[in-house]
Amino acid sequence: TALQLADAALLREDLYVDGAWKAGAGGERAAVVDPATGVEIARVAEGTRADAAAAVAAAQAAFPAWSRRTAKERAALMRRWHDLIVEHADDLARLLTAEQGKPLAEARGEILYGAGFVEWYAEEGKRAYGDVIPTNGAGRRLFAIRQPIGVCAAITPWNFPMAMIARKVAPALGAGCTIVVKPAPATPLSALALAELADRAGIPAGVVNVVTGPAEEVGNELAVNPAVRKLTFTGSTAVGRLLLEQTAPTVKKVSLELGGNAPFIVFDDADLDAAVEGAIASKFRNSGQTCVCANRVLVQAGIHDAFVERFAAATAALKVGNGFDDGVEQGPLIDARALAKVQDHVDDATSKGATAVTGGKPHELGGTWFQPTVLAGVTTEMKIAEEETFGPVAPVFRFETEEQAVALANATESGLAAYLYTRDSGRVWRVGEALEFGVVGVNTGLISYEGAPFGGVKQSGLGREGSRHGLDDFMELKYLCLDGV
């Protein structure tokens, strides 16, 4: 089978709580299925509410000792964890492709990207500086110190089964927090393998815990448990809103990384080849299943036809297949529901006057593959303008002026990533500043980097991940006012 690992012990099927592997309290198991083949690859323990509560208790018990270690001591353990992740990158990539479907090269890229967060925050924890504040009175001395917030919980999605966890666990640990992770039910294996490596790295029991299981039980317990001081979530906007509500009674600090509806704007003065390349990279990564994938391609009238022609040709040339096969660039969608949504968006657009320049139908491979698709003549009346498609479909809108492009781009509740292609440096600043998005890529379709702040505005979320700012989400600022000096 495809799931041959050099280190078979990385395939874990139990919960990791308080440094030990155990079955769920209810004794149930859930199948993990390869979306490319439908073949069952593992049977993972179904955690219960009681398991989630036990993991929170373990994280709470581990917190005092972990938070009191020096940042340098924590960094040494995190560095070891990072090195083990890199050392086992091939196995981790195979697990990821098997449970998620993305091409093996992309999976490997995700593993190294995720490892980057562990390395970054191991170091950044050493720089959690506070302030010495000029005094407001003789005999008084004022300080602000930063302290870890406490027990954290992370709820993560299936589209980046490894990186979304690393991106949350690394800053938590670097800050001195302990954490309980609930991975997406479709993709628990990457999470459990990370826990296995954290264990081997010597990260103490209770510092990192992974509880798989149903959202309504495990996820809900993490949201309502009073011992959890911070919840960090990546997923759909609907579930994000729900979690914000569920965490309100215990006033948790919350970070939300929600849906995007990314505009990809190509101006007349753009480098056409670079814009096509960037659009392909942004739109078709993970078969369109990322929250920063271009969801609306806006092209200025003067370059529109030439762009569409080349973009469609490049799209049609993408190699579709099983992510384990050589050279494959487009894996299957995660499940049948995802496929149905993509088809619905295409049908809605074509019924209202858009044309499929390439693609438009389920792929001949069957399963959950969809043809890489470019739609032209798309307008704001179509569903695809409003909703995130999360699939390999690029809708192209035509615009005339810079003002129109900005208005069109901002006409959404979402505000995660946006992209623009232009060679006019004045326009870079004007449009870059006018876009109501948390991340703007200029003349590039790839913006991810652990050293840069990532996050959304408007209904795309709260908080930032990555960079020195990402540490703030896991820390509290304490003001110390000393009198009688």
Q: Which of 93, 155, 293, 354 lies at the binding interface for ligand ADP (CB under 6 A)?
A: 155
Bridge partners for 397 per DSSP: 298
- Give the other-Cβ count within 10 Å of 238's Cβ: 10
Return the number of the residue (314 or 462) whose C-beta is nearest ligand ADP: 462
User: Applying CB under 6 A, does 163 fall inside the site for ligand ADP?
Assistant: no
| Per-residue exposure over 39-68, b if at least 16 CB sit within 10 Å of its own CB, e if not | eebbebbbbbbebbbbbbbbbbebbeebbe
Least distance between ligand ADP and beta carbon 232 (Å): 11
Return the number of the residue (246 or 444) whose C-beta is nearest ligand ADP: 246
The stretch near ligand ADP (CB under 6 A) out of 153-161, 342-350, 360-368, 402-410 is 153-161
Q: Which residues contact 109 (CB under 8 A, 6 or more apart)?
A: none
The stretch near ligand ADP (CB under 6 A) out of 46-54, 155-163, 191-199, 466-474 is 155-163
Least distance between ligand ADP and beta carbon 176 (Å): 25
Least distance between ligand ADP and beta carbon 92 (Å): 19
Bridge partners for 182 per DSSP: 155
* DSSP codes, 133-184: EPPSSTT-EEEEEEEE--EEEEE--SSSTTHHHHHHHHHHHHHT-EEEEE--
Q: Which of 184, 314, 342, 394 lies at the binding interface for ligand ADP (CB under 6 A)?
A: 184
User: What mask of x and - would describe binding to ligand ADP in positions 308 to 347, judged by CB under 6 A?
Assistant: ----------------------------------------
d(CA 230, CA 473) in angstroms, rounded, equals: 8
- The helix (run of H) or strand (run of E) holding residue 280 is helix 272-284
User: Applying CB under 6 A, does 239 fall inside the site for ligand ADP?
Assistant: yes
Q: Which residues contact 473 (CB under 8 A, 6 or more apart)?
A: 171, 230, 232, 253, 255, 463, 464, 465
Return the number of the residue (293 or 440) whose C-beta is nearest ligand ADP: 293
Least distance between ligand ADP and beta carbon 220 (Å): 5
Site for ligand ADP in 191-230 (CB under 6 A): 215-216, 219-220
141-148 and 373-376 as β-strands: parallel, antiparallel, unpaired? unpaired
User: Applying CB under 6 A, does 292 fall inside the site for ligand ADP?
Assistant: no
Radius of gyration, CA atoms only, the chain: 23
Q: Which of 37, 135, 147, 236 lies at the binding interface for ligand ADP (CB under 6 A)?
A: 236
Return the number of the residue (47 or 219) whose C-beta is nearest ligand ADP: 219
Q: Do 389 and 375 touch, CB atoms closer than 8 A?
A: no
Q: In what order do the strands lie in the sheet with 20-22?
A: 20-22, 15-17, 208-210, 178-182, 151-155, 228-234, 253-257, 461-462
The stretch near ligand ADP (CB under 6 A) out of 86-94, 235-243, 296-304, 464-472 is 235-243
Q: Exposure of 457 by Cβ count < 10 A (0-12 exposed, 13-18 middle, 19+ buried)?
A: middle
How many of the chain's residues bind ligand ADP (CB under 6 A)? 16
User: Applying CB under 6 A, does 288 fall inside the site for ligand ADP?
Assistant: no
Return the number of the residue (100 or 358) whose C-beta is nearest ligand ADP: 100
Q: Which of 86, 112, 133, 242 lies at the binding interface for ligand ADP (CB under 6 A)?
A: 242
Active-site annotation holds for 257? yes
Return the number of the residue (184 or 298) whose C-beta is nearest ligand ADP: 184
Q: Which residues contact 216 (CB under 8 A, 6 or more apart)?
A: none
The stretch near ligand ADP (CB under 6 A) out of 234-242, 409-417, 420-428, 435-443 is 234-242
From 99, 217, 257, 465, the catalytic residue: 257
Q: Do 177 and 147 touch, CB atoms closer than 8 A?
A: no
Helices H, strands E: what count in the chain?
15, 20
Return the number of the residue (213 or 359) whose C-beta is nearest ligand ADP: 213
Return the number of the residue (215 or 316) whose C-beta is nearest ligand ADP: 215
Q: In what order do the strands lie in the sheet with 131-133?
A: 131-133, 141-148, 475-482
Q: Do 152 and 231 touch, CB atoms closer than 8 A?
A: yes
Return the number of the residue (217 or 402) whose C-beta is nearest ligand ADP: 217
Q: Which of 185, 332, 455, 466 lies at the binding interface for ligand ADP (CB under 6 A)?
A: 185
DSSP character at residue 362: B
Q: Which of 157, 321, 415, 456 lies at the binding interface for ligand ADP (CB under 6 A)?
A: 157
| Cβ-proximal residue to ligand ADP, closest one | 219
Footprint on this chain of ligand ADP (rule: CB under 6 A): 155-158, 182, 184-185, 215-216, 219-220, 235-236, 239, 242-243
Catalytic residues: 257
